[in-house]
Amino acid sequence: MKLSARAKKLTADILADILGSLVMDAGIFCFAEGARIAPGGVSGVCIMLKRLFGLPVGLMTFLLNLPLMILALRRIGGGFVLRSLRTLVISSAALDLVVTPFFPRYTGDRMLGSVFGGALMGLGMAAIFLRGSSTAGTDILSLIVERKYPHIQIGGALMAIDCVVLAASVPVFRDIDSALFGVAALFCQTQVINWVVYGSGRCRKVLVVSEKARTIASRIGAELGRGSTLFRAEGAYTGRELPTLMCVARAREFCRLREIIREEDSAAFVIVSGVTQILGEGF
């Protein structure tokens, strides 16, 4: 019995969640915990809670993210939040039930632990991003803030949260090096995500030439909350006019945008380029 296209997609998404979660969780347990660092975000907070109270990192990650997911479902809704909830359940369970009991922990050089921990976390997150999902945490928080306050620049606020977590790791681990190594891990994590998912740029500009440009634009607005610009372009050789769409997307949105285009028109002519800076609503 052949699987439908929807079943195949769901299977691929779940496999990406499992593999990505195992790699990311290995970075957290095997290296970050072993190096005594808390590399920002919810994961960093949960590592510190385990250090202080012995609480399981996976369970605490799920519990701390749950209110954010509920808020996102109420205020945003949509497939992205549900996919992120699925990813959160898989990654939390994998960390406590698979990685922690069976994976070895590296306790050697702390710099190596920081670098490999950050790199593995970034690689696992990138695998999840490529299937149009997220690891919740600050991704969901930024989505909520962007939808409610589209003119607020959230990058600085999210960076401030990471800085608070890194600063808190100093008294928790009783070592200022914990914060410094945490910065190294966070840097490696970000760079790996950049290279794997969308190159060195932070956003992507997409030009799509397709008869279904208007349909694609409608789905982008409904599923990603991003606006598009439609115009008509004339082919120099054929003299034929075709609808053309232009849209800009963030890292976590780009993979889903590309998937939408492929689903609506697999023959669409698509140009993707890096964007250095974006100013305006939503950015």
DSSP annotation string for 216-242: HHHHHHHHH----EEEEEE-TTT--EE
Residues 6+ apart with CB under 8 A from 215: 264
For residue 270, what are the β-bridge partners? 208
Please state, for a pLDDT cut of 90, what percent of the chain lies above it: 53
Contact 47, 57 (CB under 8 A): yes
Location of each CATH 3.30.70.120 domain in the chain? 203-275
Q: Give the pLDDT confidence of 261-280 residue by residue, as tens digits.
A: 988 998 899 998 877 667 67
Q: Which helix (H) or strand (E) holds 49?
A: helix 41-53
Q: Identify the pLDDT of residue 224.
A: 84
Contact 36, 114 (CB under 8 A): no
Q: Please, which pLDDT band fits residue 168 given cuts at 50, 70 and 90?
A: very high
Q: Could you tell me which CATH class the domain 203-275 is placed in?
A: alpha beta
Total-model pTM: 0.75
Higher pLDDT, 180 or 148: 180
Q: Identify the pLDDT of residue 1.
A: 46
Residues 6+ apart with CB under 8 A from 143: 72, 76, 80, 81
Q: Identify the pLDDT of residue 75.
A: 75
State yes or no: pLDDT of 5 exceeds 80: no
Kindly state the average pLDDT of the residues 29-55: 93
- Interatomic CA distance for residues 142 and 157, integer angstroms: 9
- Interatomic CA distance for residues 283 and 277, integer angstroms: 9
Determine whether 151 is exposed, middle or buried from the number of CB atoms within 10 Å of its CB (0-12, 13-18, 19+): exposed
Q: Identify the pLDDT of residue 77.
A: 67
Please state, for a pLDDT cut of 70, what percent of the chain lies above it: 89
Kindly state the average pLDDT of the residues 84-97: 95
Q: Identify the pLDDT of residue 160.
A: 79
